[in-house]
Structure 1
């Protein structure tokens, strides 16, 4: 198998056997993998050499994964995939609100974990595989709506020439909404094209990313006008112009 990336991953989980199993699988997938078993050990590694992506377990003794994530954001812009227990819906939402990019329930199959990692790294790079423009591919051109400007090539977002600090998932949600300004996009479509996976039951990831986007846009917009509208029962719509 040919691998396009030698991305560096950091696994943070207090289960050494699980880390060893996942590390072996992900190494065979072409990744450089390091693992630590506590949040404090993760902080030490991150200070020395930040990886390309963090796989973070929520439930750990001492400092939890949520507490670690809270310390990392916003000073460290590394994508984070959370590992959560199947019954920890509140923790998943909290993690997304704190800036995690996505989550996966434990126990997870290594192949599914690898697929999620690939999806996050792909959208961080601004691409989405072989999808075409007609199929809803990630935009390459600069997108602008009044004072809001997104440059997908440079992965930069600004409002009135001031930087907007967005996670990779937030950036891609906003870019896809702006690319289809005026259209109502379902959560199924947003999940498929932005998160590169199918929407599942009780999945709140897109809702949380949109909520965070609204908060960040409202914080910089002097008029407080809402750019992203909720169309009940259908999805979300980006307002092309507020004039």
Structure 2
């Protein structure tokens, strides 16, 4: 793999992280996983430049707007894909609208197909 695109994957569910990593394993993406907003910000601070962040909208009981704001203010050229299956306190249409307004380039509703994720990642990293 020559100069793979670097993806920061942020989800508090290890099963989802494993699935997404498996979906992207056959592509030209290097995945770094984080299980919280705090871990993601540490990775962003110490690691080489990322090309994309895939972030679950609901990280535990908190939403991802804070980490999105931080990424957009500090890492202007980092694209963000938001994924969500909802959490019962907010409908998915509202979650998607907030994600779009906060700067996400793509919103994917869980569960999603491998082809949809790969297409979204390819589009967001072009």
Give TM-score, length-normalised by structure 1.
0.46
Which structure: larger Rg?
Answer: 1
Residue 93 of structure 2 corresponds to residue 89 of structure 1: yes
The correspondence of residues 1-243 of structure 1 with structure 2, limited to 5 A, is 6-49=4-47, 50-61=49-60, 63-77=62-76, 78-85=78-85, 87-122=91-126
* 2: CA distance, partners of 1:27 / 1:5: 15
CA-based RMSD = 1.9
* 1: CA distance, partners of 2:18 / 2:12: 11
* 2: CA distance, partners of 1:119 / 1:93: 19
Give TM-score, length-normalised by structure 2.
0.85
How many residues of Structure 1 are paired with residues of Structure 2 in the alignment? 120
Relative to total residues, which structure has the larger helix share, 1 or 2? 2
Deviation at 1:62, TM superposition (A): 5.3
* Conserved? CA contact 1:11–1:34, under 8 Å: yes
Where does structure 1 differ by over 3 angstroms across 4 or more consecutive aligned residues? none
Deviation at 1:44, TM superposition (A): 0.5
* Conserved? CA contact 1:39–1:63, under 8 Å: no
